Amino acid sequence: MPDLTDQTCPFCGPVKTNVIDSRPVDYRGVRAIRRRRVCPTCTHRFTTFELSEATINHGPTIEELLKEAKIDLLKTLASSI
C-alpha cells in the first residue's frame, strides 16, 4: 500500500509524492531511512534521506552524508528513528 506524504517534489514543488521503496540504511554509524519516491504530477523519481535531528548534531555533516549516499534530498525527522 503506497504511503502518501507531503514531501516536496524537487522538480515541481510541494505536492504529495508516492513512496515506492523504503529501507533503513547506515552510513558510517548514522542510521537513516532512505526512501525512493515518485511524483504523481511530473512522474520524476527521486530519493530522500531521512534522519533525526539528534543524529544530525552528532554524526558526519549533512554534506558528507548526502555525497556518500548519492541522493537528492534530505528530510529531517522530528523524532528518533
Applying CB under 5 A, which residues contact Zn ion? Answer: 9, 11-12, 39, 41-42
Contact residues for 42 (Cβ-Cβ < 8 A; gap 6+): 9, 11, 12
Minimum CB distance to Zn ion, residue 64 (Å): 27
Q: Which of 25, 68, 26, 19 is nearest to 47 (CA)?
A: 19
Nearer to Zn ion, 11 or 22 (CB): 11
In the numeric block, which cell numbers belong to residue 18? 508516492
Nearest approach in angstroms of CB 46 to Zn ion is 9
> Which one, 43 or 57, has the nearer CB to Zn ion?
43
